[in-house]
Amino acid sequence: MEIAQAQEKVASLKELLNRYAHEYYVLDNPSVPDSEYDQKLEELRRLEEEYPELITSDSPTQRIGGQPLEGFQKVQHTIPMLSLGNAFNEQDLRDFARRASQGTDKALSYVCELKIDGLAISLTYENGQFVRGATRGDGTTGEDITSNLRTIKSIPLSIKEKRKIEVRGECYMPHKSFLALNKQREENGEELFANPRNAAAGSLRQLDPKIAASRNLDVFLYAIGEWEADTVESHSDRLNQLKELGFKTNPEWKKCDSIEEILEYVEYWTKERPNLPYEIDGIVIKVDDLAQQEELGFTVKSPRWAIAYKFPAEEVVTKLKDIELSVGRTGVITPTAILDPVRVAGTTVQRASLHNEDLIRAKDIRIGDTVVIKKAGDIIPEVVRVITEQRTGVEEPYHMPDHCPACGSELVRLEEEVALRCINPNCPAQLQEGLIHFVSRNAMNIDGLGEKVINQLFNEGLIHTIADIYRLERDELLQLERMGEKSVDNLLQAIEVSRENSLERLLFGLGIRFIGAKAAKTLATEFETMDNLQKATYEDLIAIDEIGDKMADSVVQYFAEEKVSDLLNELRDLNLNMKYKGPKRVEVSNDDNPFVGKTVVLTGKMEQMSRPEAKERIEALGGKVTGSVSKKTDLLVAGADAGSKYDKAVELGITIWDEEQFLKMLEG
């Protein structure tokens, strides 16, 4: 393919994929199945790999997250991002409406919006391209988190408006993403996030964008900071304008003409908030007319034309009847409080996670206690505290068992972990959880093999290991309850299709500790075959930028197990693909190429090329980009404001290029 043809094809694919992404992540109305999107994305990846000069910052392939950052740069907000005053009850809202009406001669209309519980952000576009994203910070100075925000698929990387525009909104973590993240952290023995807001804020402040990319964050935009073409006269029109520009806005806003309508809106969402797929902590009320907003003005800290109504925290009292234990995929033993049923934040709660033995001791929780319950982040039921003054003396202190409740094996507490674990590889509870993980969407993605079906097959003795999934026969499946001919045929077809999955799906499905979907993709890309990965040493693994000490140790230990080798041999015999099917690394052997076999570090701000673009170009030419300077570093590329890495490179006598020299060498 000629370069002109490739350029035209890349442009066409980018436009198509960005439209598909907008339909899926912004409009929630996809026009094509996921497989069609994946196929087009893979085609674009292959073209960009063959023609790296065609890679641009707005390409859908650039959302995965680039090099880890050294730190966050400060960003000055031209127009301050002020916080709002708070209202906590009906009288506070009536007082706000009264003050607003006294500040203007004309009748007021208001816009009520859901107050998304996340992190306030600012997005800047120049010449139609997303160039900077920042946190609110103290309102006047935020932090540059562009690399992390670029990974969020509902944020457009390019828009049709070519004049400079800055838009503002809230970045948040949907309930589904929050639950999945905490489940993974619990299995890894890591501290859990208390609520989605903390999880979102923690994700956006990661120096490694790949971590933010793995967290499945989302945004709602609701304001424009700077825009020379801004001609709207009301906030309601501005929300519609943001939507027309291609930004994701929250659809639940409402225009209200009186305080009574505002109160009705507040009452409705106070009841309905548990049914939302994201967390809200209140309602924002704004005067709609922008001229009236300007007339009302600001106090020192907040605008007089807007206020945030905050929902009261709901805590209820119930009885803790018992404590049950569950065994996770990695053997973590999790205690769960069994409660007298009670309504909390709109739903009936009968169970609450107690996480680990240390929490039970810290809160002195006993069976039979009267306890206070709330939903952490309005999602996960938790025991807040014990009402000790209501104890009668019959309450029983709880002690974690010494042996696994599922298999009877002795439990252990690994170093630096708070959780107890069952380390019996044949524990039935772990086996079932492992099977459920193996067939899940991000792993082998076998439609029709959900949790209930896996448990049914396991209990019937039809599957014990993941290899058994590929030995299932039609006649034996037809004997099971709720298994008709069509569902069985569809299931067997889905199993057959999964044999051809690329290596990274199989790696993730195996459930290697600390190896998530992103790390599995990294390993598959690097080693290309299961055989190569099985032979990899700790040194081979740790040399990969995205693989840390714990990951490398875990992979080596996993493949050293004889039962793992036996399982992989079984899977090979069952014709499962053991090779990576994604885009391959470019092999370069030109002796005149200054990047072949070289270890390169990028530092400072580059003017003509982003760091991710520079990294892609270097790797395409056979070089390796790392994040820190050491004696093994061959070259440092230093942009503007280079810091400690530059000083260390000088100290070690490492070759240093400025951006101009680097670009000349790329062109050559």
- Dihedral class, residue 386 (left if φ above 0, else alpha if ψ from -120 to 50, else beta): beta
Sequence-ordered strand ranges (E) for 345-457: 347-353, 366-367, 370-376, 380-386, 396-397, 411-412, 421-422
46 three-state secondary structure: helix
In the block, residue with structure tokens 């992540």: 25
Residue 567 burial (10 A CB sphere; 0-12, 13-18, 19+): middle
Rounded CA separation 230/428 (Å):
62
Per DSSP, 464 falls in state S
Is the CB of residue 79 less than 8 Å from the CB of residue 226?
Answer: yes
Sequence-ordered strand ranges (E) for 521-626: 599-603, 624-626
Computed over its alpha carbons, how large is the radius of gyration of the chain? 28
Rounded CA separation 124/157 (Å):
10
Read off the amino acid at residue 28. D
Per DSSP, 501 falls in state -
The DSSP element (H or E) to which 262 belongs, if any, is: helix 259-272
Rounded to 5 degrees, φ, ψ at 228 are -70, -20
CA angle 266, 267, 271 (to 5 degrees): 115
User: Would you state the structure tokens that stand for residue 414, as one six-digit string?
Assistant: 């690994």
In terms of Cα–Cα distance, which of 379, 285, 362, 367 is closest to 322?
Answer: 367
Length of the chain: 668
Q: What is the DSSP string of 276-302?
A: SSS-EEEEEEEESBHHHHHHH-B-SSS
Rounded CA separation 332/434 (Å):
12
- The β-bridge partners of 121 are 135, 169
Is the CB of residue 145 less than 8 Å from the CB of residue 206?
Answer: no
| 164 is annotated as an active-site residue | no
14, 40, 74, 115: the active-site residue? 115
Is the CB of residue 599 less than 8 Å from the CB of residue 634?
Answer: yes
- The β-bridge partners of 284 are 113, 308
Is the CB of residue 116 less than 8 Å from the CB of residue 172?
Answer: yes
- The β-bridge partners of 505 are none
**Active site positions, annotated:** 115
